[in-house]
Structure 1
Amino acid sequence: MSTLIITYQSNLLINSHSEKKNPEKPDNSLIEYIETQYSFNVSVKRMEINGLPIIHHDGYVCEFPIRHRFAMRKFHGVLRFLKTDNVISMKQVLEPSAIDPDFLKLVHTPDYVERFLSGNTSVEEQRLTGFQWSTGIVSRCRLETGGTLLAGQLAMEHGIACSTGGGTHHAFPSHGAGYCLLNDLAVTAAVLFKECQVKKVLIVDLDVHQGDGTACIFSDNCAVFTFSMHSEKNYPLKKQMSDMDVGLVTGITDKDYLAHLHSYLPWLLESFRPDIVLYDAGVDPHEKDELGKLNLTDNGLFQRDFYVINLCVSRGIPVATVIGGGYDKDINMLALRHTIVHRAAIKERICFTSSIGVRTW
């Protein structure tokens, strides 16, 4: 059984590797793992000096059915765990503004933007997204998209910036889908181009589901390279064609997953040479995720996130992170799992500044 299907736009390469039949289980829970492996003995003052911007708004959460598959309350939990675990200081936290509707129209059709903002999407359109329209949904989506944009802008200044939301990669130009209403990654890339901050953007999408909306939006844009590494036999059933797709077979574990990532990401950074990386650090590849179908451990997710961030920063490439997807009935464990990328970014920042001293990006 193969574990990897790689498809370039040229459709010239298909590769395969062997699969472990008995995935290793982690010895510790996520909380124990973080406490024993990735607790950082640094003062709050030191963290402030390291200057990692954390983008959050309480408006990422709106009134929502409590039993809905989409765990709306997780966004509050992400910030809460980052604070209570002393991963960040509140002085690092910045609030975004709601995204300008004109910015949305850089990637979404004017008709869709107007219908979404005014509540005129059809019942079928709402069914496709999984959300019933409300003014609260509109507000949170605009704030979340504004948060990803602010993360991108601050990453250009500081080298790294992390949002506590974002990763709505299933939104297409003319409609939403799969719990995604506005494509925050695409909007951020488009605004950075408009503001002449970048000439090339690499979107690294490691959510377990293919970033189909993002791939569609930038299918004819050679200034944006879309890289998606995802579960092949998972949503969406009909895949789009990213600039590079790595489709993984069900059940892949840490070692093989990371080996595939190590095989392609350095080459992408060297060959495409982006001015910024927008990184979707979805935690749904986790072995306990309800929709993921992959078997990454907490350790595997941390290694993945640290590797991506470190690889970018070591090459002088700014990176902005979003949390992407994750599905677990235990909302506290899910929120904690989503903080792995922020912990990885903090570790990278501390290691980086320790080696060269405090610097301006």
Structure 2
Amino acid sequence: MLKYELLPEQLVREGTIPEESLFAPMPLPEKYILETHDAGYYQRLVAGQLTRQEERATGFPWSEQLVQREVTILGGTVQCAKLALHTGVALNVAGGTHHAFADRGEGFCLLNDQAVAANYLLRHEGIGRVLIVDLDVHQGNGTAALFRDEPRVFTFSVHGARNYPARKEHSDLDLPLPDGTDDATYLQLLGATLPRLLDEVQPEFVFYLSGVDVLATDKLGHLALTREGCRRRDQLVLELCHRHRLPVVVCMGGGYSERVADIVEAHANTFRVAADLWG
């Protein structure tokens, strides 16, 4: 998607981030992927042996380049997680592939980057408790299923009640929203919920999926947030993480407005908020 090229260019040009803070991730080694994903599924994915039904469910025609893209996204989110342990925050211009399950892909997601990174932290970095805050307009059904029986990971999803997927999984906390939800309603609900969750869950690390498909301009979202409301959403989440000294990784997730400028500007606001807080 064009936004992946335009977003870093804009952030550097306007001075929000220095060019040297950008990095190109390496593909994640298989051993870390298999801590989350089923080995049989992953091997068939790599070999191009998915069934037509499985391939159709992903929304993508299979190619080696597609698999390499997905594995590189995983590498980026894991690298962000390691960076955030030292810097407090790191952002992936891609990522947020929250519809991928252990044994299958769905909804343009083949492998689940935040789930893989969360398991990496649990297994290799001594993190004992993770909170995943999924504010993409679509429920993170793959993420919810992957951590259904993992008490060390709390999954929280705010999403359109009538949006994809038709069959929702059960996150640890789901807040389904009606079509047309506006800034005031959304921000009031999030502001009343997330501070309480931080107190109850006591996470040591946060993953934040900051999809901008909540915008009123989005072709697929059906909510009614303005760009300013979306920025205030990001500010609410990131200020709480900063105040609690919680390392956080942000992945950009979805965004399908007609004008690519609306998508890029909304994503850029996420970076601007993080830059203001962590300087």
| Shorter-chain TM-score range | over 0.9
Provide the rounded CA distance (Å) in 2 between the counterparts of 1:91 and 1:183. 27
Q: How much identity, in percent, do the aligned residues show?
A: 39
**Structure 2 residue 244 is matched with structure 1 residue 319:** no
Contact 2:231-2:266 within 8 A present in 1 as well? no
Provide the rounded CA distance (Å) in 1 between the counterparts of 2:206 and 2:58. 27
Structure 1 residue 130: Cα displacement: 0.5
Structure 1 equivalent of residue 122 of structure 2? 193
Structure 1 equivalent of residue 264 of structure 2? 335
Structure 2 equivalent of residue 306 of structure 1? 235
How many residues were matched structurally? 279
Give the 5 Å matches for 1:58-77: 72-77=1-6
Pair member with larger Rg: 1
Deviations 1:101-135 (A, max 9, x none): 11111111000110111111112111111100111
**Structure 2 residue 167 is matched with structure 1 residue 224:** no
Deviations 1:17-47 (A, max 9, x none): xxxxxxxxxxxxxxxxxxxxxxxxxxxxxxx
Provide the rounded CA distance (Å) in 1 between the counterparts of 2:264 and 2:56. 26
Deviations 1:307-353 (A, max 9, x none): 10110110111111000111123233322322221111012123xxx
Structure 1 residue 286: Cα displacement: 0.4
Structure 1 residue 222: Cα displacement: 0.3
Among candidates 291, 294, 298, match of residue 220 of structure 2: 291
Deviations 1:65-119 (A, max 9, x none): xxxxxxx222111111112222111111122210111111111100011011111
Give the 5 Å matches for 1:145-294: 145-294=74-223
Structure 2 equivalent of residue 110 of structure 1? 39
Residue type at the aligned position of 1:148: T
Residue type at the aligned position of 1:142: V
Deviations 1:190-234 (A, max 9, x none): 111111330010000000000000000000000000000001010
Select between 214-223 and 191-200 the one with higher mean Cα deviation.
Answer: 191-200
Structure 2 equivalent of residue 88 of structure 1? 17
Among candidates 30, 34, 37, match of residue 101 of structure 1: 30
Structure 1 residue 139: Cα displacement: 1.1
Provide the rounded CA distance (Å) in 1 between the counterparts of 2:272 and 2:220. 24
Equivalent residue of 2:242, what SS?
helix
Provide the rounded CA distance (Å) in 1 between the counterparts of 2:153 and 2:209. 15
Equivalent residue of 2:142, what SS?
helix
Provide the rounded CA distance (Å) in 1 between the counterparts of 2:224 and 2:4. 24
Structure 1 residue 155: Cα displacement: 0.8
Contact 2:88-2:278 within 8 A present in 1 as well? no
Deviations 1:254-302 (A, max 9, x none): 1110000011100111111111000000000000000001000111111
Equivalent residue of 1:99, what SS?
coil
Residue type at the aligned position of 1:140: R
Contact 1:306-1:348 within 8 A present in 2 as well? no
Runs of 4+ in 1 over 6 A off after TM superposition: none
Equivalent residue of 1:133, what SS?
coil
What runs of 5+ residues in structure 2 fail to find an aligned partner?
Answer: none
Contact 1:167-1:185 within 8 A present in 2 as well? yes
